[in-house]
Structure formats: structure tokens, C-alpha cells
């Protein structure tokens, strides 16, 4: 699937954009613990190229991103695109689909039952925004070092990299109880390598609420509409 991923990036123009993004990182004087790349994908085109990879992206996007992560790391090292990059863990890939299949199973409806949304795959969700919070910062990536001075992981290396994953809380990326796998000493964040991003909390409600506001009467004698929270990162 790595080979197919590279072929798709080359044909879709994604590889050219990736090289351009790498140049911006390489020309920057700032030090990064994590290099973040957004890759636009067309599920239909990928499915035609390779059905297995297309299905994997649609239903296992987090694992599929790891395939593109490996491909991008090899490309960076082969073409010497980012001199500062040391490990594959420093690359964060966000797959951004242009669309999803027009099928009911890809629509996230909180009014439908049963709620079979345990998988971390792509869904379409439509609703009405009724409230928006202010834009705040969150940690996209951080570097940690061992606090034991005699440990080889106490300086210089990008051994411990924490990257925010979809659905994770802030404490999953940054906290003070991580330990070194080599000597079991506590890890301490190297603050100059922290990578920040913007997040916003949005309160939404199902579009069906408009029928209730219009006085629309259905066969259902009782119904309840509840808001749901969306995190935009």
C-alpha cells in the first residue's frame, strides 16, 4: 500500500505540494518537534487505483495516515527535503478527504438508533451551529527528554515525541508523568520544541429542529432534540 500511496500522491499533485511544504519547513529558522502535513485525498480516485487502500482510508484513517507517514518520511530522507528531521515519529499526517461516498452509513446522525459509531472513521455530520467558543491554542506535538542526566535520552535526540491524535484529550499529549523506557526516570518536556495549533469548540443541533420550530407535526407523539459539541482543530 505504500507504493500505491506514492503513485497516488504523484498523480494527484499531492507530492508536489508536499515538497513545497517541506521547503517552507526547511527554510524556517524555527525548530520543530513535529512536522505537520495535510494531504487531500479523493476516495473515489484511490479506490479505482487500489480498492484495498481506498477502503482502508475510509474505514481506518488513523492507520492509513501511518502508511502515508512512512512514505513521506522516506521521501524526505531520499530527497533531503528537511535537514532537521531525525525520526519518522516527527511527521504528523492529516488525511483530508474531498468527499465521502453518498451512502447512509457515512452520515453521522445522532437521532438514528442504534448508535454504531465506535469506529474512528470518517463521517459526514450536518446541523445548525447555535454557539461558538473563542479560538484557543492546543498542543499538536511536543518533545520530551529524560530527566536522568546519565541517560542517553536526556539530550540531543528525538526519542520521545508526543503527537495529538483525533479524539484525544490535551493530557494525552502533554503531562508530567511520562517515564523513560530505558531507565524509568520521569520525562520532562523540552518547551522550545512545542508545536501549537488552533482549536475552537462549536455547539451544534440537528437540522430537524427546524421542523419543530415551524410547528411541524409528525406521527411521533414525543421527540427530543439535543445539542452536540464539535471540536474544530
Q: Where are the domains of the chain?
A: 1-105, 136-198
125: pLDDT confidence band, cut at 50, 70 and 90?
A: confident
pLDDT of 115 higher than 80: no
Mean pLDDT for the stretch of residues 146-174: 88
Note the Cα 86 to chain centre separation in Å: 21
Contact 21, 64 (CB under 8 A): no
Mean pLDDT for the stretch of residues 100-118: 75
Gap between the Cα atoms of 43 and 54, Å rounded: 6
Model's pTM, two decimal places?
Answer: 0.84
User: What is residue 196's three-state secondary structure?
Assistant: strand
Residues shown for the chain: 233
Helices (H), 84-158: none
Q: Residue 211's pLDDT is what?
A: 73
145: pLDDT confidence band, cut at 50, 70 and 90?
A: very high
56: pLDDT confidence band, cut at 50, 70 and 90?
A: very high
In terms of pLDDT, which residue wins out, 121 or 53? 53
Q: What is the DSSP letter of 192?
A: G
Omega into 22 within 30° of 0, i.e. cis?
no
Q: Residue 116's pLDDT is what?
A: 62
In sign, the C-alpha dihedral spanning 145, 149, 152, 156 is positive
Q: Which CATH class is domain 1-105?
A: alpha beta
Mean pLDDT for the stretch of residues 59-72: 94
Note the Cα 98 to chain centre separation in Å: 15
pLDDT of 88 higher than 90: yes
Residue carrying the nine cell digits 512512512? 70
User: What is residue 207's three-state secondary structure?
Assistant: coil
Mean pLDDT for the stretch of residues 69-90: 93
Phi/psi class of residue 225: alpha, beta or left (left: φ > 0; alpha: ψ in -120 to 50)? beta
CA trace torsion 92, 96, 97, 103 (10° rounding): 90
pLDDT digits (tens, 9 = 90+) for 9-35: 999 999 999 999 999 999 987 878 899
Mean pLDDT for the stretch of residues 56-77: 94
In terms of pLDDT, which residue wins out, 117 or 54? 54
Q: Residue 81's pLDDT is what?
A: 94
218: pLDDT confidence band, cut at 50, 70 and 90?
A: low
Amino acid at each position: 500500500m505504500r507504493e500505491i500511496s506514492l503513485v497516488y500522491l504523484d498523480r494527484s499533485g499531492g507530492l508536489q505540494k508536499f515538497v513545497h511544504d517541506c521547503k517552507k519547513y526547511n527554510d524556517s529558522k524555527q525548530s520543530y518537534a513535529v512536522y505537520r502535513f495535510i494531504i487531500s485525498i479523493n476516495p473515489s480516485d484511490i479506490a479505482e487505483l487500489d480498492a484495498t487502500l481506498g477502503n482502508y482510508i475510509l474505514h481506518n484513517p488513523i492507520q492509513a495516515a501511518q502508511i502515508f507517514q512512512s512514505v513521506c518520511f522516506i521521501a524526505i530522507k531520499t530527497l533531503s527535503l528537511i535537514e532537521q528531521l531525525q525520526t519518522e515519529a516527527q511527521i504528523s499526517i492529516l488525511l483530508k478527504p474531498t468527499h465521502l461516498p453518498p451512502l447512509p452509513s457515512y452520515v453521522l446522525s445522532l437521532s438514528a438508533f442504534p448508535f454504531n459509531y465506535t469506529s474512528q472513521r470518517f463521517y459526514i455530520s450536518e446541523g445548525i451551529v447555535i454557539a461558538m467558543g473563542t479560538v484557543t491554542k492546543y498542543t499538536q506535538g511536543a518533545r520530551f527528554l529524560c530527566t536522568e542526566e546519565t541517560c542517553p535520552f536526556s539530550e540531543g535526540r528525538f526519542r520521545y515525541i508526543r503527537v495529538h491524535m483525533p479524539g484525544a484529550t490535551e493530557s494525552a499529549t502533554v503531562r508530567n508523568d511520562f517515564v523513560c523506557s530505558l531507565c524509568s526516570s520521569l520525562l520532562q518536556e523540552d518547551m522550545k520544541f512545542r508545536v501549537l495549533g488552533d482549536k475552537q469548540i462549536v455547539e451544534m443541533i440537528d437540522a430537524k429542529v427546524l421542523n419543530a420550530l415551524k410547528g411541524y407535526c409528525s406521527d411521533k407523539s414525543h421527540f427530543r432534540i439535543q445539542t452536540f459539541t464539535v471540536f474544530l482543530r
